Structures are given as structure tokens and as C-alpha cells.
Amino acid sequence: MKKSLFIISFILVIVLALTACSKQNSTQDTNNSPSESLTMLDEGVWPENEYTEGLSVPPGTVSWAVLDAAKGYCGISLIDLTDDEYNAYMELLKEDGFSIIEEVSEEIEGQNYVSIGTVLSNKEKSLSISYIPNNLGIYIAFTTES
């Protein structure tokens, strides 16, 4: 179960990254259109929807957010937060009933920082969180029991 949640979350991260890339390139190539089920949400505003309901709002500024109800996720990217704010948010999620399923950290060669990836679940929702200094990515999906 834990491994499948990690795999699903990892796939969501890849899908979201590819979607973001295709969104950026869509202005250059009119034949490259994003999924019809993908909705770009307001920049600078924490999205309020069924995915974020009951989730503590992290510090920082929303740089972008997407909702893909057909694929079953909401992705949010925040900037302007410190390492201490990130650590405090992770503690808040634990207090809110989220448990860490998987955690991976990797030193980014030549960049002098560590990238942290964490998968959490509270049995209702799964969160895939990625953090590099000043940038937090949160991908939210509903947990499905197998």
C-alpha cells in the first residue's frame, strides 16, 4: 500500500511537470493544447476546493495551481518560504493527522542545497510534497484503498 501510494504520487509529479511544460510551450505551438480537464487556478491565491478542504494552508505565495478532476489531483506551487517555515508546515501536517509514507532527500550537485520529497497520507488524502529552498510543491489526491 505504501509503495503504491509513493508510485502514484511520483507519477502525479511527473504528469504535473509535463503538463506545466506543455502549458509553457503552448504559446509557441498552437497544435500543443493542454488537457481539457486541466484547469489553471488563480495565481497568488490558495485554491479552495475538495482537494484542499481541511488542509492547513502553508506559508509562502502561490506561484501557480492546477486542478485536474478527471485525473484526480490538485497541484500547487508556492514560493517565498524559508526552511524553517517548511519544517513548521511539515510538523503542522503531522499534527493534522498526516503520516509520512516515504521520504527521499537528494543533494543537488553543484547547487549547494538538498531537494526533499515526501509522501504523506491521512487515509483520506495523499500528499506528495517536494521542497527545494524557497519553493514548495504540493500534489494532492484522494487516497484509494486497494
Domain boundaries, the chain: 2-28+39-142
Pairing of strands 99-108, 113-121: antiparallel
> Which grid cell is 55?
488542509
User: What is the model's pTM?
Assistant: 0.74
Chain segment 125-144, per-residue pLDDT in tens: 999 999 999 999 999 999 87
pLDDT at 44: 95
Query: Strand, coil or helix: what is 143?
Result: coil
Q: What is the CA radius of gyration of the chain?
A: 15
Backbone angles phi, psi at 96, to 5 degrees: -80, 5
Three-state SS across 62-114? EEEEEEECCCCEEEEEEECCCHHHHHHHHHHHHHCCCEEEEEEEEEECCCCEE
Query: Strand, coil or helix: what is 117?
Result: strand
Reported as a pLDDT band with limits 50, 70 and 90, residue 69 is confident
Mean pLDDT, the chain, integer = 81
Q: Return the closest-CA partner of residue 104 out of 1, 40, 13.
A: 13
Residue pair 139/78 in contact (Cβ under 8 Å)? The answer is no
pLDDT > 50? residue 67: yes
The C-alpha atoms of residue 35 and residue 39 are separated, in whole angstroms, by 9
Chain segment 17-64, per-residue pLDDT in tens: 444 444 444 334 344 445 678 999 999 999 999 999 999 999 999 999
Amino acid at 54: G
